[in-house]
Structure 1
Amino acid sequence: MDIESKLHHLTGLAREKSSERRRTLLREVTDLFFEETPKDGSGVQKQFDAVLSTLAAQTAQDARAELARRFADAPMAPRGLVMQLARDAIEVAAPILTQSGVLTEDDLVAIAAEAGEEHRRAMAARETVPERLSDAIVANGDDETLARLVANDGARLSRGAFETVTRRAETSPVLQAPIVNRADTPADLLGDLMSVVETSLRERIMKRFETLDPAIAEAALAASHARLEARIASDKAIAEARKFVTTRRMRKELDGSLLVRLLREGERIKCCVALAELAGVDHSAAQRALDHRTPDGLALICKAAGFDKALFVTLAILRGRTTSNLSADAQGLGALYTSLSREDAERAMRFWRMRKDMQAA
């Protein structure tokens, strides 16, 4: 019996209403496909596609999951079936989305825009992820999905995707290690993260800059500064705050006590501008130090600027990121500040100050 006759015979048996019989038929048709794989685009392949798609739609999820595993890495798998399985429940779709070469780039981009988060997460783990698919995943995915994508060395990211992930990483710890550890992350975007990542990641960024040609490092830092400053250039409140700080500096009233007073009075923007001026960093670094969930950035700035421990602890508490146990918080903040050496702080600050100086030049 030739392959078409066998397929016709099995199709006739598919009228059986028993779910177990349909499962058996699905397996038998699949076995037949792999025993005598038809040519791509042939009429026989189209018949297989129609029969397998119909049977799959009428069988239980675990049977469809088994089917997906068998066809996941099959280069001649029927396209209609593959598309059907790719949009199924993630337990079925995962092997297709992570492995199938039958899915085109257009298919994957469309699925990334339409399907659920787990489907995007599966695609982010493909051996190779082209830029267009990465763009679609970044545009629609959550932070966990983006972290998986960025950690995948086989994923190609466009400049736009890098910028989006970096911006989100400023407030998302789950994205910080993947974007910092990635070898092709643009240096200027790493500069954006200097004041928000944990110490070990900050060290990685600094080592990356230290290996760069000085001219390239300077250009990257200048670009980082320009981009971050552009976000606030049109902010009238910041412009007014800068006038206020300039006046206080001329009156020789720009000091730690002014920072404390401004925070206590709720003048956060003015405090941020004053801190940047006193420490010699750009506004973005100061703003992040005051707003970030951890006090690390503020500690670096204060230590490098030569502020005493009491001033740092007061600023850290007044910024509003502490618990109800102020005594314990103060002790913890004091211990953090004591453990941070002036040399380490200066090393980190060198990059922020360079960033500001390069733009000013």
Structure 2
Amino acid sequence: MTVLVQLNSSRMPERAPRAEDLLALARNNSTDARQRLLLGVLALCDASPPDGQMSPILGEIFLFLARQAERDIRKALADRLAHADWAPPALVNVLALDEIEIAAPILASSPVLQDDDLLQILIEASLDHQIAVARRPQISGRIADAVIERAVPAVLTALATNRTAQISGEGFRRLVEHSRRIAALRGPLSRHPGLSQALAEQMYHWVGSALRESITTRFQVDERKLGTAVYDAVEGVLRQARPEDFAPDTPEREEMERRLVAKLQAAGQLKPAMLIRAVRERRMSLLVHGLATLGGYTVNQIRQALNSPTPEALYYACSSVGIDRAVFPSLLVELRKLNHGLPGDLGKPVWQRGSLSPTSAARAFRAIIGPDQDEQQRIAV
């Protein structure tokens, strides 16, 4: 009642109207009379709420009058009906699809809205409406699954902040997977009570340093052990290799690896995981050509980083192509076994300072290594 008085006290009945007053308003076709009739019928319902849903006839009257009402009256109507279990379903759905300022209280609270209604809103309504549905308390697993299936970033983030939503284990797995590309999901998910230890460890690989601390504190994640585990499990469990399984690098083998990298790049299949596998399989030429191609560097620049007295440049090269900093220490150990102890261990472990963007890492790599002199001479000739 208070909201309507604030909006326009001259239109709001002070008490439940008499039947003859409503009848007189019904005979008047003016806009003001229609709106006074709507408020009068609503006041009558407030004074004596219907038992369950109101009669279909009264529901049709409500709907007819609401469609002719001004914006402030529709807004007041939505506020008043947001918690009413007797409200006409057709009217509630019309208000739910109205502009978001009107629809918001209905989407947040109306007990009349059913899953089918909410699914329709997810499909037909604006982004703001979809976000409101994802934030609605106690939404069912069916609605949560629909939000995840549609994969709209802002709506997924709203769902991740909804602690009362019924999200299945599979739903959480898909949300965590979406958080690879949607950074806004990571914070809400890392704090969500439904996040499991296994999913937290999976998400740990692509979150920033602040969220890693939060995950480590909450789930007691061992960063060193996890880095080793990631190294051993990129794209599935890698086979255990014996030194005799692999041929040493030769000019012929290097040319073969160069051609393989070119084919993978052309097919869009050259991935950071392949570089990790190359180290594990002791294929240095494959690593060198793959890292150079992925990062847009020359082979000479990568070899210079591999033979440097410090691993800093190599770390930046790896970081620039998407190799996680948690994986790098284990990768470095294996590389030193293959490359006569190089790169050396001078300097501080830069990978402990926090994550870098690929662009920043590439810039840092080029600043340390400098231009490829041989390449510049060939271009000059």
Tell whether the structures are fold-level matches, with TM greater than 0.5: yes
SS at match of 1:249: coil
What is the one-letter code of the residue matched to 2:141?
A: E
Match of 2:295 among 263, 271, 278: 263
- Once the two structures are superposed, residues 50-78 of structure 1 have per-residue CA deviations (whole angstroms, 9 ceiling, x without a partner) of 11111110011221011000000112222
Residue 33 of structure 1 corresponds to 45
User: Cα 1:163–1:288, aligned 2, differ >3 Å: closer, same or farther?
Assistant: farther
Please report how far the alpha carbon of residue 82 of structure 1 lies from its aligned counterpart in structure 2 after TM superposition: 1.2
Q: Which piece of structure 1 moves more, 182-191 or 238-247?
A: 238-247
Greater helix percent: which structure? 1
Distance 1:171 1:93 in 2: 31
Residue 171 of structure 1 corresponds to 181
Match of 1:321 among 359, 362, 368: 359
Contact 1:83 1:103 in 2 (8 A): yes
Residue 20 of structure 1 corresponds to 32
- Once the two structures are superposed, residues 159-218 of structure 1 have per-residue CA deviations (whole angstroms, 9 ceiling, x without a partner) of 332233222211222111011111211333323322221112112223344289xxxx99
- After superposition, residues 5-154 of structure 1 pair within 5 angstroms as 10=22, 13-41=25-53, 45-140=55-150, 142-154=152-164
Structure 2 residue runs of 5 or longer lacking an equivalent are 1-16, 238-263, 334-342, 369-381
- Once the two structures are superposed, residues 75-124 of structure 1 have per-residue CA deviations (whole angstroms, 9 ceiling, x without a partner) of 22222211221122211111011001111223222322332211121122
Distance 1:242 1:211 in 2: 26
- After superposition, residues 167-316 of structure 1 pair within 5 angstroms as 167-210=177-220, 225=233, 229=236, 237=270, 245=278, 249=282, 263-265=295-297, 289-291=319-321, 298-302=324-328, 305=332
Distance 2:170 2:148 in 1: 10
Contact 1:291 1:319 in 2 (8 A): no
Distance 1:311 1:259 in 2: 20
* Cα root mean square deviation, aligned: 4.8
Q: Is the radius of gyration larger for structure 1 or structure 2?
A: 2
Please report how far the alpha carbon of residue 256 of structure 1 lies from its aligned counterpart in structure 2 after TM superposition: 8.7
Identify which of structures 1 and 2 has the higher relative contact order when contacts are C-alpha pairs closer than 8 Å and 6+ apart: 1
Aligned length: 292
- Once the two structures are superposed, residues 212-248 of structure 1 have per-residue CA deviations (whole angstroms, 9 ceiling, x without a partner) of 9xxxx99xx79x957x549x9x986569956993698
Contact 1:113 1:136 in 2 (8 A): no
Distance 1:112 1:258 in 2: 43
Q: Which piece of structure 1 moves more, 54-63 or 199-208?
A: 199-208
Distance 2:84 2:358 in 1: 57
User: Cα 1:113–1:159, aligned 2, differ >3 Å: closer, same or farther?
Assistant: farther
The TM-score with structure 1 as length reference comes to 0.64
Distance 2:79 2:295 in 1: 59
Contact 1:7 1:29 in 2 (8 A): no
